[in-house]
A and B are shown apart, each in its own frame.
Chain A
Amino acid sequence: MNRSPTQTIVFWSVAILCVVALSAPTLVVLGASFTAGNIIDFPPDGFSLKWYVAILGERDLQQAFLRSVIVACICVAVSVPTGTLAGIALSKYQVKWAGALQIYLLLPFTVPLIGSGIGLMLLFGELRILGSLWPIGIATAVINLPFMIWAVSSSAASLDPDLELAAQSCGAGPLQTFFNVTLPAVTPGVITGALLMFILSLNEFLVSLLLVDARIVTLPVQIYNSIRAIITPDLAAVSVVFIAVAALAIIILDRIVGLEVFLKSK
């Protein structure tokens, strides 16, 4: 492609602006976490790792972090099998009411989170399961399930329908075809979806806020509670750790998915 110099300048300016805008909050938090002072501040007041050392001693933050990870794992465990089956069914088989179903699956996006959160709170309250972690995992799975379904169904939709017929002509029955051919072929979508679900659940704030009580706060809620009391730089440090975990998950899984997608390419 040949671009004129003006075009090139405009193109790069927009690109750089986007990158800056997207990463500014992360950079601010990152900077603030290294401050040597005692209040959260940007640009930081000197450089030190003392707030990272500090969070090593804060059991509340650590436990909240652990709870968030557990919630995210429960969310993945629930959403991967259901979302995978639903995604394959929606894109590959002529499901009755497929159109209506697709719109229904969009609902979680259109209903404001506060609405779904209150709904789930009432439901879980009625069922008397508030106060433990697994309902939060399920709640984040329910709310974010469309991401999982979309990741899988886009993978399944690009699948050659003859693959399953080929498996049959090789002698594979319906179950063998599903496990040996269909499922491996949509694996990139499953991995992408699982990664998304993990991160979305890990970060989920509003719904967690409504469903947790004081004994089982998750990290975003814990940070929020602390901010309301006193803003210290240890919150920035723990946020950075939090971001790093999510980023690490992306990097590791992107390696795997990237590889799978590459292997899939014809």
Chain B
Amino acid sequence: MTEIQAAAVSAINVEMTFGTFKAVKDASFELQNGKFLTILGPSGSGKTTLLRLIAGFLTPSSGEILINGRSVRAVAANKRSIGMVFQKLALFPHMTAAENVAFPLKMRRFDARTIPDRVAQYLKLVRLDGFENRRIHELSGGQQQRVAIARALVFEPDLLLLDEPLAALDRKLREEMQLEFRRIQKELGVTTINVTHDQREALVVSDQVIVMNDGEIQQNAAPTQMYRMPSNPFVANFIGVTNDLSGILTRVTSADATARFGNVELMGVHGGAVALEDGTPIKGAIRAEQIRIASAEQSMAGLDADFRGTVLDAIFEGERHVYEVEVPELGGETLKIIHHDRNDQSALEPGALVHIGWKNRDLQIFPAKQ
């Protein structure tokens, strides 16, 4: 064997064209063994297509997919060691829960004597012991999810693919199942690719996140980095609530950039990778929860930028308040601000005059046009 272990999955310049429509454009990434990758993107961004290319249901129009370092171009879907959970689960309706889980073992010619034990073991893993002989329609939504995951894992695949299997569940059950997937994935250590359009799920459960839009990979990073250092306005806006400010670049160094917004010059950070030139239009992005808001000016101590503003709208969301604040100094821009107030002492009313501010390192500066 080689000294360097090959990535569990690598995509090299993968493209998928349907007719003249490019559903996946020049996608390249690597996923290391045992890791949990989430592909995040709006509906129609090519997530399912990318997953189906990896599963072998589609063949790339160009580019190469490697699994454990080997090209799988010539390997049929049923010869790949990949378990998959489908969005609509696709459980076999004419079989019981146990028969569904046993099916991959039969198809993959496991020793018939070991099958019942193994089925029992995996039903136990997903906490469905006692439900063996239920028909699929006799199980609840959450239980059906569990059968689907047991069926995908029972033959110990090299790779597990999840195509938004939680999208149809209500929020509470979805959050429960997200943690359940993570628990099982950790317990078995199986390399996993999860597809979702739920940014919270992506951040909570993943080791690695890929954001897609229009068939293109926008960013590939760890969740914390994805959140703190989005590589373009799309990612910044897709993850969390972000305010966009339009401005003109005035000065740029290797680490930071200064730009004019309305009447003021503000300093922010940039990823460094993309060309930023003086005088070009830029987009500034600042997260709603990274803006501080208070009625007293002294609360702005320690911040780099601070402005006066007027509260236009205040929404109470339980654990937080969401404000819309008009800031005349920024050319009359309206900013969204999320304020977590543990004591619930400082609720502000529409019309209130307030101070808002932030740190320079929280203002991201991107070229206006990608």
Contact = CB atoms under 8 A, between A and B. Distances in A.
A168 B78 contact: yes
Contact of B78 (A163, A172, A266): A172
Contact of A264 (B56, B79, B84, B94): B94
A171 B137 contact: no
Interface residues of B, number: 28
B19 interface: no
Interface stretch (B103-111, B200-208, B227-235, B339-347): B103-111
A170 interface: yes
B135 A168 contact: no
A180 interface: yes
A165 B90 contact: yes
A162 interface: yes
Nearest to B86: A162
Contacts of B90: 160, 162-163, 165-166
Contacts of A184: 92, 94
Q: How large is the interface on A (under 10, 10 to 19, 20 to 34, 35 or more residues)?
A: 20 to 34
B93 A166 contact: no
B183 interface: no
A266 B93 contact: yes
A185 interface: yes
Contact of A169 (B55, B87, B92, B135): B55
Nearest to A166: B90
Contacts of B79: 171
Interface string B132-147: 0001110000000000
Contacts, number: 76
B103 A263 contact: no
Interface string A164-185: 0111111111001000110011
A9 to B, nearest CB: 39
Given A165-B90, A266-B137, A171 B84 contact: no
B151 interface: yes
Contacts of B76: 168, 173
Contacts of B88: 160, 162
B217 interface: no
Contacts of A169: 55, 77-78, 82-84, 104, 152
Interface in B119-170: 135-137, 151-152, 155
Given A263-B93, A266-B136, A171 B155 contact: yes
B104 to A, nearest CB: 4
B29 interface: no
Nearest to A177: B78
B137 A263 contact: yes
Q: Report the 4 A-B pairs with minimum CB-CB distance, sorted nearest first.
A: A171-B107, A170-B104, A166-B90, A162-B90
Given A160-B90, A166-B92, A263-B137, 8 more contacts: A165-B90, A166-B91, A168-B56, A170-B104, A170-B108, A172-B107, A263-B93, A266-B93
Interface of A: 160, 162-163, 165-173, 176, 180-181, 184-185, 187, 263-266
13 contacts: A162-B87, A163-B90, A165-B86, A166-B84, A166-B90, A167-B92, A169-B78, A169-B104, A170-B104, A185-B93, A263-B93, A263-B137, A264-B94
